Structure 1
Amino acid sequence: MAEAEEAPVWPVLAIDRQRRGSLVDQIVAAISGMVNRRELRVGTKMPSVRQFAKVNGVSTFTVVESYDRLLHLGVLSSRRGSGFFVARGGPDTASPTGHAICPSAFPAGFSAAVDALTPDLYSGQSDALPVGAGWLPPDWYGESTILDAVRHAMKIPAGRLRGYGHPLGFPSLRQHLAHALSAELGAVEPEQMLLTHGATHAFDLVLRTLTRPGDVVFVEDPGYSNLLALVRHHGCVPVGIPRTAAGLDMEALAQEAAAQHPKLMFVNTVLQNPLGTSLSQAQAHRLLALAEAFDFWLVEDDIYRELAAPGEASLAAMDGLRRVIRIGSFSKTLSPVLRVGSICASSSLIPELVRVKMLTGLTTSEVNERAVFDAVSSRAYRRQVERLAQQLAQAGERAQERLQEAGLQPLARPRGGMFVSAGWPQPATPQRNGRAIAERALRAGILLAPGEFFSLRAPDTPWFRFNVAYASEPLLLDFLRAQS
Structure 2
Amino acid sequence: MLTEDVSCAPAAPAAWPALRIDRGRRGSLVDQIVAAISAMVSDGQLGAGAKMPSVRQFAKCNAVSTFTVVEAYERLHQLGLLSARRGSGFFVARSLPAPAPSSAPTQPGPASEIDVLAPDLYTGQAEALPVGAGWLPPEWYGETTILDAVRHAMKIPAGRLRGYGHPLGFPALRQHLAGNLSAELFPVDPDQVLLTHGATHAFDLVLRTLTKPGDVVFVEDPGYGNLLALVRHHGCIPVGIARGAQGLDMEELARQAAARHPKLMFVNTVLQNPLGTSLSQQDAHRLLGLAERFDFWLVEDDIYRELAQPGEASLAAMDGLRRVIRVGSFSKTLSPALRVGSLCASRSLMPELLRVKMVGGLTTSEINERAVLDAIGTRGYRRMVERLARQLDDARESAIASLRGIGMAPLAQPRGGMFVSAGWPDAPSPGRDGRAIADAALKAGILLAPGDFFTQRRPASTWFRFNAAYASEPRLLDFLRAQH
Q: Which residue of 2 aligns with 1:476?
A: 476
The superposition leaves residues 408-456 of structure 1 with CA deviations (integer Å, 9 ceiling, x where unpaired) of: 1110000010000001111101110011000110111100000111111
Distance 1:369 1:65 in 2: 35
The superposition leaves residues 208-257 of structure 1 with CA deviations (integer Å, 9 ceiling, x where unpaired) of: 00000000000000000110100000000000000101100000000000
Q: Which residue of 2 aligns with 1:145?
A: 145
C-alpha spacing 1:117/1:368, structure 2 compared with 1 (3 Å): closer
SS in 2 for 1:218: strand
Q: Which residue of 1 aligns with 2:122?
A: 122
- Is the 8 Å Cα contact of residues 186 and 316 (structure 2) preserved in structure 1? no
Q: Which residue of 2 aligns with 1:239?
A: 239
Distance 1:462 1:116 in 2: 16
SS in 1 for 2:113: helix
Q: Which residue of 2 aligns with 1:11?
A: none
- TM-superposed deviation, 1:117: 7.2
Distance 1:424 1:417 in 2: 22
C-alpha spacing 1:297/1:404, structure 2 compared with 1 (3 Å): same
Q: Provide structure 2 residue ranges, at least 5 long, that are not aligned to the other structure.
A: 1-41, 50-79, 81-111
Distance 1:243 1:172 in 2: 38
Q: Which residue of 2 aligns with 1:427?
A: 427
SS in 2 for 1:325: strand
- TM-superposed deviation, 1:115: 4.4
**Partner letter of residue 450 of structure 1?**
P
Q: Which residue of 1 aligns with 2:389?
A: 389
Q: Which residue of 1 aligns with 2:97?
A: none
- Is the 8 Å Cα contact of residues 428 and 461 (structure 2) preserved in structure 1? yes
- TM-superposed deviation, 1:118: 1.6
- TM-superposed deviation, 1:363: 0.2
Q: Following superposition of structure 1 onto structure 2, how do residues 353-372 of structure 1 map, counting pairs within 5 Å?
A: 353-372=353-372
Q: Which residue of 2 aligns with 1:252?
A: 252
Quote the RMSD (CA, aligned, Å): 2.0
| Corresponding position: 1:183 with 2:188 | no
The superposition leaves residues 165-193 of structure 1 with CA deviations (integer Å, 9 ceiling, x where unpaired) of: 10000000000000000023432110000
C-alpha spacing 1:359/1:65, structure 2 compared with 1 (3 Å): closer
- Is the 8 Å Cα contact of residues 306 and 385 (structure 1) preserved in structure 2? yes
- TM-superposed deviation, 1:65: 6.5
Q: Which residue of 1 aligns with 2:337?
A: 337
Distance 1:348 1:390 in 2: 40
Q: Which residue of 2 aligns with 1:263?
A: 263
- Is the 8 Å Cα contact of residues 117 and 447 (structure 1) preserved in structure 2? no
TM-score (normalised: structure 2):
0.77
- Is the 8 Å Cα contact of residues 406 and 481 (structure 2) preserved in structure 1? yes
- Is the 8 Å Cα contact of residues 216 and 239 (structure 1) preserved in structure 2? yes
- TM-superposed deviation, 1:116: 8.9
Q: Which residue of 2 aligns with 1:94?
A: none
Aligned residues: 382
Distance 1:127 1:458 in 2: 31
Q: Which residue of 2 aligns with 1:214?
A: 214
Distance 1:126 1:417 in 2: 24
Q: Following superposition of structure 1 onto structure 2, how do residues 48-447 of structure 1 map, counting pairs within 5 Å?
A: 113-115=113-115, 118-447=118-447
- TM-superposed deviation, 1:458: 2.9
**Partner letter of residue 363 of structure 2?**
T
Distance 2:340 2:186 in 1: 23
- TM-superposed deviation, 1:406: 1.1
Distance 1:250 1:186 in 2: 25
C-alpha spacing 1:240/1:314, structure 2 compared with 1 (3 Å): same
SS in 1 for 2:438: helix
- Is the 8 Å Cα contact of residues 184 and 317 (structure 1) preserved in structure 2? no
- Is the 8 Å Cα contact of residues 196 and 341 (structure 1) preserved in structure 2? yes
The superposition leaves residues 334-366 of structure 1 with CA deviations (integer Å, 9 ceiling, x where unpaired) of: 000000000011111111000000000000000
- Is the 8 Å Cα contact of residues 402 and 472 (structure 2) preserved in structure 1? yes
